[in-house]
Amino acid sequence: MFESIKDAKQAAKVLREYLNTYSVKTPTQSETLHLLARMHGCKNWQTFKAKIESQKLPEELTPTPEYPIQDTVPRGSYGTLVTVADRIQIQGTLERVSGLAYVLGASRKPDGTLDLEYEGETKIGWDEQRTVREKGQMVFLDHAGNEYLESEVMLVEEGSEVSPAVQG
């Protein structure tokens, strides 16, 4: 998914230029935007545009953290994410992804619940990937799979000494 309408329009422009090299008829910008929307599972450009706009809060509504930020690098600088308490290196964010698990058939159990027989293939909707949040904060994972809220991590200079993850 795109971060902004501007990004989507730039992608449509690139797509149009690409199609132009292989087509007799070059699609209009409007047709290309419609095609881009269809590629992302939307009925038309207006629906896709609304979907993009609904993803992002206006800057004035973006929450300011209510916890102390303990980074050792200046704001705007890159660093390594570690836990505040033990300086355990963070591996990434916890993500949720939509998927479609294909069902071959089903039967009803005596208790009324369904017993499904799966085909064995699941279609993953990578465009629907979202970072998990708890209490309004991103959730991070260390190498061992331990979870940490955004208020429990900090940025340190790259190359700083970090602790190994421990099974939690």
d(CA 119, CA 102): 5
Average pLDDT for 136-163 = 92
DSSP-assigned letter for residue 31: H
* pLDDT at residue 9, as a whole number: 83
* pLDDT at residue 156, as a whole number: 93
| β-strand pairing of 95-108 with 114-131 | antiparallel
Asked if pLDDT for residue 5 goes beyond 60, the answer is yes
d(CA 82, CA 97): 25
Name the residue with tokens 């230029």: 17
Task: Report percent pLDDT > 90 for the chain.
Answer: 34
Structure tokens, 107: 């039967």
Average pLDDT for 73-80 = 88
Return the biggest CA–CA distance within the chain: 62
Q: Determine the 3-state secondary structure of 160 from DSSP.
A: coil
For residue 12, give the H/E element and its range.
Answer: helix 5-22
Q: Determine the 3-state secondary structure of 27 from DSSP.
A: coil
pTM of the model: 0.54
d(CA 156, CA 78): 9
Give the DSSP letter string of 33-46: HHHHHHHTT-SSHH
